[in-house]
Amino acid sequence: MQKPSSPFLASIFEYMVTRQYSHSSIEAYIYWIRYFIRFNQNQHPSEMGDMEVEHFLSFLANERQVAVKTQALALNALAFLYKDFLDNPLTLALNFQKSTKGRKLPTVMTPSEIRSLLAVLPAHLRLPAQLMYGSGLRLMEAMRLRVQDVDFDYLSLMVWNGKGGKHRRVTLAAELVPALREQIRQVEFYHQHDLAHPEYAGVWMPFALARKMPEAPRSLLWQFLFSARSLSRDPENGALRRHHIDPSSVQKAVKRAAFEAKIEKNVSCHTLRHSFATHLLGRGMDIRTVQEQLGHSDVKTTQIYTHVLQHGASGVRSPFSDL
């Protein structure tokens, strides 16, 4: 995550970092604030207000035809800018054109396509992909797993501070236990070498936990499950740490594997999560349980996967089948 070159955006970046916003939130908010400024010919936000925000949001709906959730994210970014950063909140009665573009049906792979994709993934990146499909994890939820988040006794994973800051416990396939134990042995090997390094400052800790548990950063249990192969400097304070692997390496590997496996679909890491949900529902799992596994606040979000099933052989029977 790079600090913006613009002094104004850099100050927003630093403000959000010091308040422990997630990297994805920082990147998204900076993107929309930058877009808003450029849309208004680089006018400073302190010289603008409700009217300019309304015009921008209407532009996104009318000209860009963005999805409802995309427009909502842009609004959240600008509401944060004016309320939290500039201390000049927008009115609650903003009048703008609401986006009506619905969410697309998610891309879902078949079980045989999943097997083909996993088979050609590089060995060191296969386990994160297996967990995204086997446990329905988002990419960053898999990357942020710590050693202690794996519960072998109850075959589950703990996801802390997922989307929306929510925590949840998700299922773990018993078939992945040997690979996970081997992964933890690899983390332990790295950790022993790190402890011997005179500059090693321990793993990065979320929020105020570093102050509450000063010994935790050097504990094996708190190390990232998918540790990077080398130590690096913390961009916030220059401390020497071992972070998790770069999520972009997993994204690229999944894309490449889909191509090599000749899967003619637009496959991404999130496709594995989509497939998890759709396959659970297809096996008769009730939608509330799937909602809990995915960490959705609203069951309506989970219902998108029932639409996938209903658009195929699991829903309407084609009259052609009776010919």
pLDDT at 113: 96
Residue 314 has pLDDT above 60, yes or no: no
Residue 313 has pLDDT above 60, yes or no: no
Active site residue 305: yes
pLDDT at 59: 95
Q: In 196-242, which ranges are continuous DSSP H helix?
A: 209-212
Active site residue 242: no
Active site residue 296: yes
Query: Which of 163, 168, 169, 218 is an active site residue?
Result: 163
pTM of the entire structure?
Answer: 0.80
The pLDDT tens digits for 56-89 are 999 999 999 898 889 999 999 999 999 999 999 9
% pLDDT > 90, the chain:
73
Count CB-CB contacts under 10 A for residue 114.
22
pLDDT at 126: 97
Q: In one letter, which amino acid is 191?
A: H
19 confidence band (pLDDT: 50, 70, 90): confident
319 confidence band (pLDDT: 50, 70, 90): low
Backbone angles phi, psi at 13, to 5 degrees: -55, -50
Active site residue 98: no
Backbone angles phi, psi at 273, to 5 degrees: -65, -45
Spatial separation of the C-alpha atoms in residues 116 and 263, rounded to whole Å:
9
Q: In one letter, which amino acid is 188?
A: E
164 confidence band (pLDDT: 50, 70, 90): confident
Tell me the torsion sign for CA atoms 228, 232, 234, 235.
negative
The pLDDT tens digits for 239-277 are 999 999 999 999 999 999 999 999 999 999 999 999 999
Its CATH architecture, for the domain 7-85, is Orthogonal Bundle (1.10)
CATH 3.40.190.10 fits 104-314, yes or no: no
Residue 315 has pLDDT above 60, yes or no: no
Residues whose CB is less than 8 angstroms from the CB of residue 209 and which lie 6 or more positions away in sequence, other chains included: 216
Residue 320 has pLDDT above 70, yes or no: no
Query: Which of 144, 244, 273, 279 is an active site residue?
Result: 273
Domain ranges of the chain: 7-85, 104-314
117 touches 128 (CB < 8 A): no
Angle ∠(205,202,253) on CA atoms, nearest 5: 75
Which two three-digit tokens encode residue 42? 């680089």
User: How large is the average pLDDT for residues 109-114?
Assistant: 95
pLDDT at 54: 95
Tell me if domain 7-85 and domain 104-314 are identical in fold: no
Spatial separation of the C-alpha atoms in residues 172 and 155, rounded to whole Å:
5
Name the average pLDDT for the chain.
Answer: 91
pLDDT at 88: 94
Query: Which of 82, 133, 138, 144 is an active site residue?
Result: 138
